[in-house]
């Protein structure tokens, strides 16, 4: 919880960076290769974690993981900040929308195109975790109204915020201006915008997927009813390219209750590398650092 409190504090600071345009990442011919590039940002006066995260389209949590020795809450002009804009693709069908909860990212694969669009997201908070699923978009709603559940109204009332039975579209609506309902369950899960961009990149929703307003507006224009949506929870991603190079990308796994998952990581898929001489302790150390960026851990011997 200390990590999330620190992030919330930093995200209260004002934005100074202009919002970046939505740009695709080209998919490599060999899908085992990492996608994107690691960037280095030299900070200027007024830069904040919130501003950099939104400009580069990266979750603040991932930025903190990629800069373990840097205090991103107290940026100074001239600081070098690693922007983790390189990643391994999740183990999922490369079509429609893929969401990986562990890395707080949404991937959109346009049909018949060799590229992917990647966005930071907010997901379900402790006790209201976003479930894994394979589903599709069942409804597209522009300027949606919001009907809070009885439990949600009680939660808000406990904070001294009374809610009406139906919240109309507008600046007070937490769904923002665009919402895409998923057919999973009784339709209670949505991918939507927000009237509070500070929630993007955190576990803060009641189970829905939150996006920055400019990102959800763009995505809303690309998809339609029936678009496939797969939600996975992969804290450890592994891939091997055509040259036998193996990469791992490790994120901190969290249980639905919010505490750190202390179960040992299954690295059985990496046993061939250990048989070829890779030191197990070194491999476990790389995975344990949870730096949220692809790391080259070994190469197969032919």
What residues are labeled active site?
A: 192, 208
Two tokens at 183?
A: 């057919």
Spatial distance between the Cα atoms of 42 and 78, rounded to a whole number of angstroms: 5
Q: How far is 287 from 267, CA to CA, in rounded Å?
A: 9
> CA 201 to CA 152: how far, in whole Å?
21
Angstrom distance (rounded) from CA 43 to CA 75: 7
264, burial (CB in 10 Å: exposed 0-12, middle 13-18, buried 19+): exposed
Beta strands in 125-173 (DSSP E): 133-142
290: region left, alpha or beta (phi > 0 left; psi from -120 to 50 alpha) = left
Sign of CA dihedral 145, 257, 93, 283: positive
């Amino acid at each position: 919880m200390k990590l999330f409190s620190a992030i919330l504090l930093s995200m209260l600071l004002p934005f100074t960076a202009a919002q970046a345009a939505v740009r695709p990442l080209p998919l490599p011919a060999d899908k085992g290769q990492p996608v994107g590039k690691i960037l280095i940002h030299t900070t200027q006066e007024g830069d904040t974690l919130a501003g950099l995260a939104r400009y580069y389209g990266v979750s603040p949590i991932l930025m903190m993981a990629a800069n373990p020795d840097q205090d991103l809450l107290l940026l100074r002009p001239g600081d070098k900040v690693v922007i983790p804009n390189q990643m391994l693709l999740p183990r999922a069908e490369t079509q429609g929308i893929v969401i990986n909860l562990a890395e707080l990212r949404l991937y959109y694969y346009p049909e018949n195109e060799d590229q992917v669009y990647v966005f930071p997201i907010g997901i379900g908070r402790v006790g209201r975790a976003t479930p894994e699923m394979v589903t599709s978009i069942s409804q597209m709603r522009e300027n949606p109204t919001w009907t809070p559940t009885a439990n949600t109204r009680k939660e808000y009332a406990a904070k001294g915020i009374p809610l009406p039975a139906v919240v109309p579209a507008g600046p007070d609506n937490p769904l923002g201006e665009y919402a895409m309902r998923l057919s999973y369950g009784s339709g209670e899960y949505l991918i939507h915008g927000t009237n509070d961009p500070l929630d993007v990149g955190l576990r803060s929703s009641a189970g829905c997927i939150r996006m920055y307003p400019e990102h959800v507006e763009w995505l809303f224009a690309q998809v339609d009813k029936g678009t496939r949506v797969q939600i996975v929870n992969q804290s450890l991603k592994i891939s091997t390219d055509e040259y036998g190079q193996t990469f791992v990308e490790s994120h901190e796994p969290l249980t639905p209750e919010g505490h750190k998952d202390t179960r040992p990581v299954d690295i059985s898929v990496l046993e061939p590398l250990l048989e070829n001489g890779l030191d197990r302790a070194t491999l476990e150390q790389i995975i344990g650092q949870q730096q949220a960026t692809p790391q080259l851990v070994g190469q197969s011997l032919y």
